[in-house]
Amino acid sequence: MPSYQAPLRDMRFVMDEMFDYPAHYASLPKGEDASPDVVSAILEEGARFARDVLLPINQSGDAEGCLLEGGEVKAPKGFKEAYQQYVEGGWPSLAADPEQGGQGLPPSLAMMLSEMICATNLAWGMYPGLSHGAADALRHHGTDEQKATYLTKLVEGVWTGTMCLTEPHCGTDLGLIKTRAVPVADNAYAITGTKIFISAGEHNLAENIVHLVLAKLPDAPEGSKGISLFVVPKFLPNAEGNPGERNGVTCGSLEHKMGIHGNATCVMNFDGATGYLVGPPNKGLACMFTMMNAARLGVGIQGLGLIEASFQNSLSYARDRLQMRGLSGKQAPEKPADPIIVHPDVRRMLLTQKAFAEGGRMLVLYTAQMLDVVEHGEPGEDRDHAETLLGLLTPIVKAFLTEVGFESTNEGVQIYGGHGFIKEWGMEQLVRDARITRLYEGTTGIQALDLLGRKVLMSQGESLKVFTKEIHKFCKAEADNADLKEFVEPLSKLNAEWGELTMGVGMKAMQDREEVGAASVDYLMYSGYVTLAYLFARAAKQASLSLTGEEKSFYAAKLNTARFYYQRLLPRTKAHAQMIQSGAGSLMAMSSEDFGLGFEI
């Protein structure tokens, strides 16, 4: 069975030494509750819960899967008991508003817990995962009555939430949905339609499930402008606010999936189910975006957790597995062969995992600070600045970390060799589980269009300038720092090139809008690599200040990882830049019929 230890030392390095989280928390209204002692206790207890409760049921949950009987879904053995411990520990309410029964702590703390959960049992973590987004959507857009009925239950975790968007005939293009909402008595609507790919749509972990459903009213405009949002509970709450009559929503089937077998991914049938409008009519997509943005950050953290899990187990295996001798001679002469960690190519794979894990953690915690300010900060310039950066970075967190997450878990299988292909070792499960993260909550292509088209070009590049200006200031301040020259000089050049590439795509797009789609994924990956380069440069600066202390080995390793990233991974930007500049010509020249030349369909 794979092992896991939460990387608390690295988390503390990023939080306390790089980003000064104690001062950050102290600057937030009521942030004094997130004292260093409280934060430490939360991280340590979260680490214990993930390691001792979730990890032992990860492989068994994958093997057992979920069972649908008579419309009811049973999660794998141990999942319900783990969820009860999760609720009893107060974990669902960590970052929720105290007015709804939450603890009022900053969202960044909940994000650190999420990394540990995703690293140890991604499938289990998806049951409570969307509840936070559902609660946020109701908090921002629900009526007072809806908040009183559903919000506290979701915050406490006794009820869970879902988001029901996709239908058999449409995924990303939600304007094509066919689910209908017909007004009936008492401000209620009868919801009829079928939704697919609904994570945790039906299960036995909680006493009720609150579905947030996109549907169209009878007089709705065509397309996405005619989408409304409804809250549709599995059980209609009675007068006391407890689960009452069963609603007209059922699980028609479970999807048979490549991975995340322990999570119930459901086809949900709504047969005149009673629902209630959330937000204004025909504005459901805007309301749902509150939940979708939270989910996108959550999926990025899933990528990070899987990278860390794969790296830890790959490292352990590479230290123990004996295979051949080092190219420069025997490294362990007392043994019949050397451990494979001495071989350069194995080190390349391990360092790739390590760099993406540590860089991804920096990216998540940097973004988390922006989320804290947006959610808890006072209105003003600082919050506007944080909101701009959060909008820019969210598609990068989601797509870049899931792309390199899949790469890193594949490297884990490769490090194990043939054993990595065998189920008992648990490495192939990480690959299977990681594959969905590049798809749900918006594919990499959709995130790339959001970043380049919506966030950057539609703002005439102003959102990007907010970030590149920060990087420029860092490079200018450290320009004379000889210890950082190897990082600052290439970072400064890439930062300038980032703006040039953006302008180039924008100019081409004025003549041909296909240029945006043609460049978008390479642009996102380029953006991700440069963003991590900036964060590794900041980490290198911090580490270089502590090389003579008691933990000099930790800081020396941080510097070596930063050097590996700059020398071995950051050069990938050159290929992405060339592909961005190549334009849409070769992609759009061929007719759709010509794709099949050479065989008949």
Amino acid in the structure at residue 530: V
Dihedral sign for Cα atoms in the order 418, 424, 430, 435: positive
C-beta of residue 527 within 8 angstroms of C-beta of residue 498: yes
C-beta of residue 406 within 8 angstroms of C-beta of residue 434: yes
C-beta of residue 327 within 8 angstroms of C-beta of residue 340: no
C-beta of residue 234 within 8 angstroms of C-beta of residue 242: no
Q: How far apart are CA 336 and CA 407, in angstroms?
A: 32
Q: Treating both helix axes as pointing N-terminal to C-terminal, what angle do 381-416 and 427-435 enclose, rounded to 10 degrees?
A: 140
Q: How far apart are CA 176 and CA 168, in angstroms?
A: 10
Task: Read off the tokens for 420.
Answer: 């990595």
Per-position DSSP letters for 360-424, written without gaps between them? HHHHHHHHHHHHHHHHHSPSSHHHHHHHHHHHHHHHHHHHHHHHHHHHHHHHHHHHHGGGGGSGG
Task: Read off the tokens for 559.
Answer: 């510097």
User: Beta strand pairing status for 228-233 and 208-215?
Assistant: antiparallel
Give the rounded distance of the alpha carbon of 445 from its chain centre: 15
Task: Read off the tokens for 136.
Answer: 């946020």
The catalytic position among 115, 358, 403, 441 is 441
Give the rounded distance of the alpha carbon of 164 from its chain centre: 18
Q: How far apart are CA 66 and CA 73, in angstroms?
A: 7
Is residue 157 helix, strand or coil? Answer: coil
Q: Is 157 left (phi over 0), alpha (psi -120 to 50) or beta?
A: left
Q: Is 441 a catalytic residue?
A: yes
Q: How far apart are CA 492 and CA 569, in angstroms?
A: 17
Q: How far apart are CA 144 and CA 233, in angstroms?
A: 17
Q: How far apart are CA 456 and CA 453, in angstroms?
A: 6
Q: How far apart are CA 394 and CA 374, in angstroms?
A: 13
Task: Read off the tokens for 397.
Answer: 């967190």
Say which residue the tokens 């292509």 belong to: 445
Catalytic residue ranges: 441
